[in-house]
Amino acid sequence: MFHTFSILPLLICLLFFFSSCQTYFIPVESFRQQFSGFDSTRAQVVTVQGPLGSRSNYKTAAIDVIRAVDKAGKPVVLQNSPALEIRFTDTAGKKTTFYFDLISFDGESVTGRPSRILSFQKTVPLSAVKKIEIQNGRKNFRYVN
């Protein structure tokens, strides 16, 4: 009996972990429409606190919500967060992942950073993208005032 009660919290935690890390999809044309006004002049400065308590400031697009669909095609609205990761898969199957709040879109290409620590950037031409996925990466980053 004692053994069952000691495993139960672990099972509940595992269930929560696997059920809450859901991946959503943004159709390429929907991405283009949602972020066509992605204007760097409207960027806002945010402060993000990392998992170890360190803070950093950077500019990000003033986007509060992202419209996506779940795997059944049902529309969902995601709240913007520094923990969101966006993954672009090109026609050759190559995947490129960025932190959502570190991307910019010029109407043709998406430029972003795959790391908060290293400051290198990558660019993905949207014309070569066949699938866009977005998920909460479950990393403990959050906006602070």
pLDDT by position in tens, the chain (length 145)? 445 555 655 555 544 444 456 999 999 999 999 988 766 677 888 888 888 888 988 888 878 899 999 999 999 999 988 999 999 999 999 999 999 988 989 889 999 998 877 778 999 999 999 999 999 987 788 888 7
Overall pTM > 0.75: yes
Residue 51: exposure state from Cβ atoms within 10 A (0-12, 13-18, ≥19): exposed
CA distance 129 to 89: 6
Q: Which two structure tokens, joined as six digits, stand for 22?
A: 């859901």
The answer to whether 41 touches 130, Cβ cutoff 8 Å, is no
- The helix or strand, by DSSP H or E, that contains position 66, with its residue range, turns out to be strand 65-69
